[in-house]
Amino acid sequence: MDPKQVVSSDPQPRQKLAASASAKAPPCTLIIFGAHGDLTKRLLTPALYNLVGAGLLDDGFKVIGVDRVDGSDESWRDELGQTMQEFTKDPDAEFYTPEINQDWWKSLSGRMHYYKADFTDIGQLEGLKAHVSGNVLFYMAVASRFFATVVENIGKAGMTKEEDGAFRRVVVEKPFGSDLVSAQELNARLLAVLDETQIYRIDHFLGKETVQNILAMRFGNGIFEPLWRREYVDHVQITACETVGVEGRGAFYEPTGALRDMIPNHLFQLLSMVAMEPPNSFSAETVRTAKEQLFEAVQPVRPENAIRGQYTAGSVQGREVQAYRDSPGVAHDSVTETYVALKLEIENWRWSGVPFYMRTGKSLTGRLTEVVVHFRQAPLAVFADTPIDKLAPNNLTLNIQPRQGITLGLSAKIPGPKMDLGAVQMSFRYEDAFSLTPNVGYETLLYDVLIGDATLFQRADNIEAAWRVVDPALKAWAADASGPEPYAAGTAGPAGADALLKRDGRQWMPLDRDDG
């Protein structure tokens, strides 16, 4: 058998971008609130473009962009088209393609229409109702403070009621609340208008193939799952670090901070993929229930196990970086954290006693998103001349960014007459095994919403359980006037993060390493 052959035992396998035209999503009107926003331009439009190219959108699919500024169908299409062309000039962009396929773009742009309305004004939204019928998907590409208001208004305008077999669904972006209380309040307001089955809380991390591959690696291979437990795993590190700073987004970042921006959404989703119990099936509710059971076992973080930092001036890969407090939109005495490190404890049969360490930050020495499973040290009785602290640890790295793949660290004999052991690596890289196409991670998620597959989306209880874990840290920081620990831009973060692991006899994996 060809080792690259894809095998599925699911009688109705999930369709990806290579799906045939027969797997088209049903006809639908996609209404994007925030038509002129960065999310619409840089993520949603490229994703829709790729779905057109994959033949996954029905001929009856159309898009209505809603925003409060003047515009027309033509002006909106031109604006989005210009942004698409910019992607051909920046190889480092999240979506990069050498050229735009004009047939694909013509097919998509011809379905795009603009509707001027203030989405906080019910009267103006009632006029929108005349433009939609049948299946409708509402996308909240607006600031989080407007999520509940928009949903309540489209409900009052009579656009959320499902009838005659047609669906009405709402996609809500992060951040979903700013703490446990606000998340509970937002859930309550949405559920007063919608049924839980109509709400799709999106996290674009789960649209990345490498994140989904964690499930495939764990549950599609018989060699890993028997070792995936406290008897064999020493600890787990989850990292999502960046070399970029706030880059002109200080006004947004200042009230948010690294924890709210990354931990209860992105990093908790990685945690769920790595640590949840094997689901009985990959149906949406079965998978989401497995996540909820895991989150219930995660203990609220103790304040001493929550480290926060804020970058000062420095140099990142030869580029001079000003201090966070000197960035536009940031208070000169800001106590907003740009770095977070946590130690989490999971009290269940599989993971009791195994610490899970998380870190995320900006303006660091390396750009890296990964999960590293560190296995317990092997006993060395047979290697009498090799001290146990010299043996390279076995670790399995799930590479997400910038590398995509899996790296396994092993010990092997160094050639020569003596039994000396050295560290070696076995690597799998996506680009070596599969043909990769430019994507932004939203393609799979948008398609899943259209077909009604909620597997990769969060339920209300998932959201609240994650906030419940980190809430003690937020409260402790709010009462602590000392603020975050400073770290120079271009370093690996504050000293307190290193001390967090050092007191347990462990250390972080380097951010600037090359896994080959």
Q: What's the confidence (pLDDT) of residue 4?
A: 39
Residue 17 predicted with pLDDT over 70: no
Q: Which amino acid is at 396?
A: L
In angstroms, the CA 269 to CA 154 distance is 30
φ/ψ of 128, rounded to 5, equals -65, -30
Q: What's the confidence (pLDDT) of residue 416?
A: 84
Residue 31 predicted with pLDDT over 50: yes
Q: What's the confidence (pLDDT) of residue 20?
A: 39
Residue ranges of domains in the chain = 22-203, 208-437+459-502
Indicate which residue of 113, 204, 235, 266 is catalytic: 266
Q: What's the confidence (pLDDT) of residue 383?
A: 64
Q: What's the confidence (pLDDT) of residue 385?
A: 63
Q: Bridge partners of 397?
A: 372, 407
Q: What's the confidence (pLDDT) of residue 390?
A: 62
Rounded to an integer, the average pLDDT of 349-361 is 98
Token look-up 């000293």 returns 495
Q: What's the confidence (pLDDT) of residue 186?
A: 96
Rounded to an integer, the average pLDDT of 270-280 is 94
Of all residues in the chain, the percent with pLDDT exceeding 90 is 68
Mean pLDDT of the chain: 89
Rounded to an integer, the average pLDDT of 46-73 is 95
Rounded to an integer, the average pLDDT of 471-491 is 95
Higher pLDDT, 137 or 513: 137
Residue 1 predicted with pLDDT over 60: no
Rounded to an integer, the average pLDDT of 276-293 is 91
Sheet holding 168-172, edge to edge: 112-116, 62-67, 29-33, 136-140, 168-172, 199-201
Residue 266 annotated in active site: yes
In angstroms, the CA 417 to CA 295 distance is 51
Q: What's the confidence (pLDDT) of residue 516?
A: 58
Higher pLDDT, 155 or 387: 155
* Domain range 208-437+459-502, CATH class: alpha beta
Q: Pairing mode, if any, of strands 339-345 and 355-361?
A: antiparallel
Residue 16: half-sphere exposure toward Cβ, Cα within 13 Å: 11
Of all residues in the chain, the percent with pLDDT exceeding 70 is 91
Nearest to 272 by CA among 301, 243, 292: 292
Rounded to an integer, the average pLDDT of 308-333 is 96
Residue 117 predicted with pLDDT over 80: yes
Rounded to an integer, the average pLDDT of 358-366 is 96
Residue 66 predicted with pLDDT over 90: yes
Instruction: Flag the least confident range among 13-17, 128-132, 355-359.
Output: 13-17
Residue 491 predicted with pLDDT over 80: yes
Q: What's the confidence (pLDDT) of residue 431?
A: 81
Instruction: Flag the least confident range among 96-100, 143-147, 245-249.
Output: 96-100
43: number of Cβ within 10 Å = 21
Q: Which two tokens stand for residue 188?
A: 């309550």
Q: What's the confidence (pLDDT) of residue 388?
A: 57
The model's pTM:
0.89
Task: Give the model's confidence band at 7: pLDDT under 50 very low, under 70 low, under 90 confident, else very high.
Answer: very low
Q: What's the confidence (pLDDT) of residue 14?
A: 39
22-203 maps to which CATH number?
A: 3.40.50.720
Give residue-wise pLDDT tens across range 205-235. Answer: 787 777 878 888 898 899 998 999 999 999 9
Q: What's the confidence (pLDDT) of residue 281?
A: 84
Q: Which two tokens stand for residue 162?
A: 């499902």
Q: What's the confidence (pLDDT) of residue 2?
A: 42
Q: Which amino acid is at 356?
A: F
Residue 435 predicted with pLDDT over 90: no
Q: What's the confidence (pLDDT) of residue 436?
A: 64
Higher pLDDT, 206 or 482: 482
